[in-house]
Amino acid sequence: MKLSDKMKSKILIAGITLFVGIMIFQTISPENTIPTALADTTDVNPNGSSELSKLMRDMQKYTNDAKLDVKSGKMPAMYPKDFDKIHTAKITEGVSKSDYYKQFADLYVMAVKSYATSTPETRVETYNNMVSSCLACHSQHCPGPVPAIRKMTIVD
Ligand code: HEC
Q: Does 65 lie in the same domain as 110?
A: yes
Question: Is 99 in the same domain as 65?
Answer: yes
Q: pLDDT at position 2, please?
A: 60
Q: Which atom of ligand 1 is nearest to the CA of 60?
A: 35
- Report if residue 115 sits inside a domain: yes
Which residue among 142, 152, 153 is best mutated to probe the pocket of ligand 1, counting the most ligand atoms within 8 A of its Cβ? 142
Tell me, yes or no, whether 87 lies in a domain.
Answer: yes
Number of domain units in the chain: 2
Instruction: pLDDT tens for the chain, 156 residues: list them.
Output: 565 766 665 655 555 455 444 444 444 444 434 444 444 445 546 668 999 999 999 999 999 999 999 999 999 999 999 999 999 999 999 999 999 999 999 999 999 999 999 999 999 999 999 999 999 999 999 999 999 999 999 997
Q: What is the position in ligand 1's atom list of the atom closest to the CA of 105?
A: 1
Which of 47, 138, 150 best tests ligand 1's pocket when mutated (most atoms within 8 Å of CB)? 138
Q: Where are the alpha helices (DSSP H) in the chain?
A: 2-28, 34-38, 51-71, 101-116, 123-138, 146-150
- Please give the pLDDT value at position 57: 97
pLDDT of residue 138: 97
Give the model's pLDDT for residue 100: 96
The binding-site residues of ligand 1, defined as CB within 6 angstroms of any ligand atom, are 35, 39-40, 43, 49-50, 52-53, 56-57, 59-60, 63, 86, 91-92, 95, 101, 104-105, 108, 133-134, 137-138, 141-142, 145, 149
Q: Which amino acid is at 29?
A: S
Query: Would you say residue 44 lies in a domain?
Result: no
Q: Does 55 share its domain with 129? A: yes
Q: Do 58 and 103 belong together in one domain?
A: yes
- Interatomic CA distance for residues 121 and 127, integer angstroms: 11
Do 140 and 101 reside in the same domain of the chain?
yes
Domain range for 120 is: 51-150
How far are the Cα atoms of 2, 69, 77, 115 from residue 66, in angstroms, in the given order? 53, 5, 7, 9
Whether residue 46 is contained in a domain is answered as no
Atom of ligand 1 nearest to the CA of 63: 38
Q: State the DSSP string of 73-94.
A: TPPPPPPPGGGGGGGTSPPPTT
**Secondary structure (3-state) at 134:** helix
155 in a domain, yes or no? no
